[in-house]
Chains A and B, each alone.
Chain A
């Protein structure tokens, strides 16, 4: 660990000094938290009546419905984005220039545009053509949120998968071609499974981002957890005041709990993979780099190459990447 290298094992003097720092530091932090709590309490945000609202069955039902619709959006968007992500990754790695160019353009456009802009544009579009869209028009906010999340996250997942595919040793692809496998077989049997395995922690971290981004539904007035909570707080009046502070604190705790649960899965898989001695080790559970061009160090279609083609397949000395 780096932290233990940056300083010596403390001697008697340093021990005393560290203890002083500990006390002063904790006191400062506690004072800050204490000040915040005191101020909130002074303005009556910790009055028992304020928090009593959570004993109300209607309030509980509201929060439950909010959680359910957040989770619904998350699950649908997660599944769709993974499917579309695999498709986009394969398309970008394709040998056919046109297919690869279209996929690249799609990925770069939607990855560079803020998700909120996409979702809002979809929403306005769906509202404008409400009558012609059938089931999409009926719940336009829901579909705008789902499709926006799907498109954006699919682009990120596609880049993650592409990085995973590029990390598969080239010898494996060559061996597969030597055994007579077709391009599609190499992709489905060799590259995608290994890419998914090595990138699983990153993929799940991106799913955490998807879960967090469902809260953008608040802005297009879709009744997910945040919006449901906000409208609920708007309608309740306790002690001549709306209970915004308690509601925000409770909803925040729910969000943090949900995201922590999901990210702990990523960390767990990463640790498990590191224990395994064979195969490709999973990547760190960090969030994927979002910059256009950051993952580009691994650019160029490494995947299936035409056997006997002009490029690639020169053997292990090949300097792709």
Chain B
């Protein structure tokens, strides 16, 4: 109890840091993931290949390695002006986008074939079919896997703390370096993560209920 009360500002900053980093990289991952899913089902072969390569690469790379890439290779390419926070955002967003892409793609394949066929016979183009007909209906099946992807993202964001970004793991590291007993710190940090993950799964359950339509 004491550790929490004495270091409330640190815990608060860490908590806010984790929430912000998770939210920002979730947004990046959503945008990239949906675009990549569009690439993967598109009629243009090079784009399909690019999407497949993207997913294969990022799903089979450890996140820690991506952080090292962001710290050593990205500055070598784009110059050394980036803050650790931006680099962590890039690593987390790119990593998660591969999983989002797969979720969206499998959601697209659950939309009944007749829908896309009807759209095409009405003369819609590929982009129109995807944007107006298929993706809106795919959201319903994509929501549950997205919830677990974002929970995994929340947990993965802990790695950023080891790379000097202010968030909850950083707090744990800082306080245990200061010599406080690890067990209470662990429990409080775990509790903070539980709060975030349960909020996410609650929000998504709400969303699921709102989107629920009898088929």
Contacts and interface: CB of A to CB of B under 8 A. Distances in A.
Same complex for A and B? Answer yes
B60 A256 contact: yes
A251 B48 CA distance: 27
Interface stretch (A2-10, A164-172, A191-199, A303-311): A2-10
Contacts of A7: 43, 120, 126, 129
A8 B129 CA distance: 11
B65 A215 contact: yes
Given A25-B47, A245-B72, A255-B65, A294 B201 contact: yes
Nearest to B125: A7
Interface residues of B, number: 73
Contact of A6 (B56, B126, B200, B204): B126
A140 to B, nearest CB: 13
Chain A interface, >50% SS class: helix
B126 A114 contact: no
Interface string A1-36: 111011110100010001001100110010000011
B62 A212 contact: yes
Interface of B: 40-48, 50, 56-57, 59-65, 68-69, 72-73, 76-78, 99, 102, 106, 108-109, 111, 113, 116-117, 120, 126, 129-130, 134, 144-145, 147-148, 151-152, 154-159, 161-162, 168-169, 172-173, 176, 182-183, 185-186, 189-190, 193-194, 197-198, 200-201, 204-205
Given A248-B69, A289-B145, A117 B76 contact: no
B41 A6 contact: yes
B147 A294 contact: yes
A36 B77 contact: yes
Interface stretch (A53-61, A98-106, A118-126, A130-138): A118-126
A6 B116 contact: yes
Contact of A255 (B60, B148, B176, B194): B60
A45 B76 CA distance: 9
Given A25-B47, A116-B159, A252-B65, A6 B130 contact: yes
A-B pairs, 10 with minimum CB distance:
A291-B148, A215-B62, A259-B60, A114-B158, A114-B155, A2-B109, A244-B72, A215-B64, A121-B186, A212-B62
Nearest to B186: A121
Given A2-B41, A113-B189, 20 more contacts: A8-B120, A14-B43, A25-B47, A39-B77, A43-B76, A113-B193, A114-B154, A117-B190, A117-B193, A121-B182, A208-B60, A214-B62, A216-B64, A252-B69, A255-B62, A256-B61, A259-B60, A287-B99, A292-B198, A293-B205
A120 B60 contact: no
Interface in A208-235: 208, 212-216, 218-219, 226, 230
B194 A113 contact: yes
A230 B62 CA distance: 15
Nearest to A118: B186
A112 B197 contact: yes
A260 interface: yes
Nearest to B108: A2
Given A22-B44, A40-B77, A248 B151 contact: no
Given A8-B120, A120-B173, A251-B65, A291 B56 contact: no
B158 A117 contact: yes
15 contacts: A2-B108, A2-B113, A3-B42, A29-B46, A35-B77, A45-B76, A112-B190, A113-B155, A117-B193, A118-B186, A120-B176, A219-B64, A226-B65, A251-B65, A289-B144
Nearest to B78: A39
A184 interface: no
A263 interface: yes
A318 B96 CA distance: 40
